[in-house]
Each structure stands twice: as structure tokens, then as C-alpha cells.
């Protein structure tokens, strides 16, 4: 009998490469459990087609179909909103770069099935002006609340990103930093792994030597190596990076994704996730703690 981890990744691999998943016979309760996991990890719409290629009843398949249709509708709506924002910024002379969700969707076999929530836009050195334009012309409320879990090295990392934007190499380095930050703060989800696999699969124009140099420089090699090991062994897609993951690091990431539960307090969660921060960043743990504390005090 396949484990829950094996079944999940078999279905994801099928969703990405169009293969027929070989899962054998599973009872309805296990299918429902699998659906809930996919839904919680924002890949239910993505895995509909793969599920439809399995021996499943209509009752099992219908929730997946519903997620697929909702995902398509939401993608169309957000794409329209994004176009309005980008066009408005362009009229005001503000360069805009689309990040994450709708941008990463282009790498998927069916872009509209890559689920996403909010829109992430980069305005180069015009963020303050973009905020004013958004409030004045689009009548939106701009949230300027800072993210307190950024390590101290984020400032030079962002400076490096600005120097290479826009480019496929920027896309890779931006994604990896964003994934590392969320991994350290909360944890990865299955969509993150699919994003990395699709970025790599479509990375022919990426300067991988630059990626490798910057990831080494900022102390993120262990995290990226573990991420790459998962997509290589589980999804059949590997990057050309030459990093070596620490022993069991990939297994720890998978265990955290599938089985970990958040600590009931913020302080407890911070200390409970020290191993993640150690894996994800070159900043020392005392440095990260000091930066987090000063960030909270200054806001």
C-alpha cells in the first residue's frame, strides 16, 4: 500500500507531466483525505485532470471539478484586475513587474489551474508613488504593514534583485527567497514545490551560474538543495544547480509539510522553527532574532 506522501506526489507528478497515475484501488475515505490535503495546499484545481484519470467515483471527482471551475473563474477575474492595475501604472509612468501567482502560472501546462490569492507587483523604485496612484485612481487601500520575519540579509538581497530585474534569473532568485521566508515563518506547501518544478522546467533562459553564486553568497544553498531534491525525486524535475542537501533535509521538509502543526504561541513557533531558519538563511540565529525584535519595536 502506498503512503499518503507517495500518493500525493504521484498525483502531483501526473498533473504536471500528463502521465497516468498508478495508485491502484483506494477507498472513498482515503480519496476524501487526499482531496482535503490538495485543497489546503492550493493544488486541488491543478490535480483535477490527474484525478479524473484514476478509477474514482463521480462522488469523489465532483469536489475536484468544483475546485477546477472556481480556479478558472478566479484566474480570469484576477487577470482582469491585474491588467487594470498595470495599465493604470503605465499611464502614470510607473514600471510594473508582475510577480508570483499570475506570473508563475505561465509555466504550468494549464495556467488557469495554478491557484493563487492576492496579486504581487513590483514597482522598482516607485513604490511610494504606486501606492498613491492606487489609492487615487483605483480606490484601493494600500497595506503597508511590514513583514517582521524578514532576516537582516533581505535588504542586500533585494538590492541584488533590483539590479537584475526584469529577467528569468530575477524570477528564480525572487521565488527562492520568497519560498525560504515563508518556509522559515510558516512552512512550505505543495504549490510551492510545483512552482519550483515548473520554473526549473521552463528555465532555459535563466543564468543558473548567477543563481548558484547568489544563493551561495546569501547562505541559502542547503534550503535550495533540499527543495531541488524533492522535485527531482518526487516530481522528476531537477535544476542544473550543484548544491548538496544536508542529510535528511529533504525528508524533514516533507515531514514538516505533511505532519507538523503550528505552535500555539508566536514565541513558541519562532523557537520551534529555528531549524528552518538555520536551513534557509546564512544569517546567524542571534542575528535573525535581533533583527526580528528591532523590527517589531520600530513598528
pLDDT 10s per residue in the chain (299 long)?
A: 589 999 999 999 999 999 999 887 888 999 999 999 999 999 999 999 999 999 888 998 999 999 999 999 999 998 898 999 999 999 999 999 988 888 899 999 999 999 987 788 889 888 899 999 989 998 877 766 555 457 889 899 999 999 999 999 999 999 999 999 999 988 899 999 999 999 999 999 999 999 999 999 999 999 999 999 999 999 999 999 999 988 899 999 999 999 988 777 877 777 778 899 999 998 777 777 666 666 655 65
For residue 117, tell me if it sits in a domain.
no
Distances, alpha carbon 238 to alpha carbons 8, 180, 196, 214, 232, in Å = 19, 18, 9, 19, 5
For residue 231, tell me if it sits in a domain.
yes
CA dihedral for 82, 87, 90, 92, sign (positive or negative): negative
The contacts of residue 174 (CB under 8 Å, 6+ apart) are 99, 161
d(CA 195, CA 279): 20
For residue 197, tell me if it sits in a domain.
yes
Which residue is associated with the grid cell 507538523? 260
Note down the domain range covering 223.
147-299
Q: Alpha helix locations (H) across the chain?
A: 4-17, 28-40, 48-52, 58-91, 100-105, 127-137, 154-164, 168-185, 190-201, 208-217, 221-235, 249-259, 266-272, 274-280, 285-298
For residue 11, tell me if it sits in a domain.
no
The pTM (predicted TM-score) of the whole model is 0.92
For residue 158, tell me if it sits in a domain.
yes
For residue 153, tell me if it sits in a domain.
yes
Task: Report which secondary-structure segment, H or E, holds 97.
Answer: strand 97-99
For residue 2, tell me if it sits in a domain.
no
Residue 202 CB coordination number (10 Å): 15
User: What is the count of structural domains for the chain?
Assistant: 1
For residue 162, tell me if it sits in a domain.
yes
Amino acid at each position: 500500500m502506498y503512503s499518503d506522501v507517495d500518493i500525493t506526489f504521484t498525483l502531483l507528478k501526473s498533473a504536471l507531466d500528463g502521465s497516468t497515475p498508478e495508485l491502484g484501488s483506494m477507498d472513498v475515505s482515503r480519496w476524501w483525505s487526499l482531496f482535503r490535503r490538495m485543497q489546503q495546499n492550493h493544488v486541488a484545481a491543478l490535480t483535477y485532470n490527474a484525478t479524473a484519470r484514476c478509477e474514482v467515483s463521480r462522488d469523489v471527482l465532483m469536489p475536484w471539478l468544483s475546485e477546477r471551475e472556481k480556479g478558472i473563474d478566479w484566474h480570469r477575474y484576477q487577470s482582469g484586475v491585474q491588467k487594470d492595475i498595470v495599465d493604470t501604472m503605465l499611464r502614470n509612468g510607473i514600471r510594473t513587474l508582475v510577480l508570483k501567482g499570475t506570473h508563475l502560472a505561465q509555466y504550468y501546462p494549464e495556467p488557469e489551474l495554478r491557484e493563487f490569492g492576492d496579486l504581487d507587483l513590483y514597482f522598482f523604485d516607485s513604490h511610494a508613488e504606486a501606492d498613491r496612484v492606487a489609492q487615487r485612481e483605483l480606490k484601493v487601500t494600500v497595506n503597508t504593514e511590514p513583514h517582521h520575519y524578514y532576516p537582516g540579509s533581505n535588504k542586500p538581497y533585494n538590492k541584488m534583485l533590483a539590479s537584475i530585474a526584469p529577467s528569468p534569473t530575477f524570477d528564480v532568485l525572487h521565488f527562492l527567497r520568497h519560498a525560504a521566508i515563508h518556509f522559515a515563518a510558516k512552512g512550505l506547501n505543495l504549490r510551492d514545490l510545483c512552482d519550483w518544478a515548473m520554473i526549473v522546467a521552463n528555465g532555459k533562459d535563466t543564468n543558473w551560474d548567477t543563481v548558484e553564486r547568489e544563493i551561495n553568497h546569501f547562505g541559502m544553498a542547503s534550503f535550495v538543495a533540499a527543495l531541488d531534491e524533492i522535485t527531482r525525486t518526487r516530481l522528476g524535475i531537477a535544476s542544473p544547480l550543484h548544491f548538496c542537501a544536508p542529510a535528511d533535509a529533504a525528508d524533514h521538509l516533507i515531514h514538516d509539510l505533511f505532519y507538523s502543526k503550528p505552535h500555539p504561541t508566536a514565541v513558541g513557533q519562532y523557537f520551534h522553527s529555528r531549524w528552518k531558519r538555520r536551513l534557509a538563511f546564512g544569517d546567524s540565529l542571534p542575528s535573525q532574532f535581533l533583527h526580528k525584535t528591532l523590527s517589531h519595536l520600530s513598528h
